[in-house]
Amino acid sequence: MAGQQHQDSTTDVVRWAAFSCVLVPVVLLWYGTSLAGATGTALGLAAVTAVCRVLLRRSERGAARSLAEEPAALAPRHGRHHRGGTGGHRGGRHSGGNTPGG
């Protein structure tokens, strides 16, 4: 169900972008921009919309694939940054070793 809702929201975004590809040149023409300028703007917006649509679809497929492959990725983590073993602490004082004085 959540996947379908995500896909619907992506479709809505693409629809609004396509609507903007039509609306923006009309508004530009209304305010006196040349037909060539409005056409260039429409083509530019259409190109950006197409690229964004491809990237959104690719992202959806990648997210669905990673969720299918690793259901443990959603498991709760333990600790602040899920670090284990020694050497997990940063900063503070260190005992001996790497000081300039020896």
Instruction: State the number of CA atoms in the 13 A half-sphere of 4 facing the CB.
Output: 1
pTM: 0.55
Q: Which of 4-8, 19-23, 38-42, 51-55 has the lowest mean pLDDT?
A: 4-8
Dist. CA 44–CA 36, nearest whole Å: 12
Dist. CA 80–CA 50, nearest whole Å: 41
Backbone φ, ψ for residue 97 (5° rounding): 85, -105
Residue whose tokens read 């169900």: 1
pLDDT digits (tens, 9 = 90+) for 37-79: 999 999 999 999 999 889 988 988 888 888 777 755 555 666 6
Residue whose tokens read 């983590």: 77
In this structure, the number of other CB atoms found within 10 A of the CB of residue 25 comes to 22
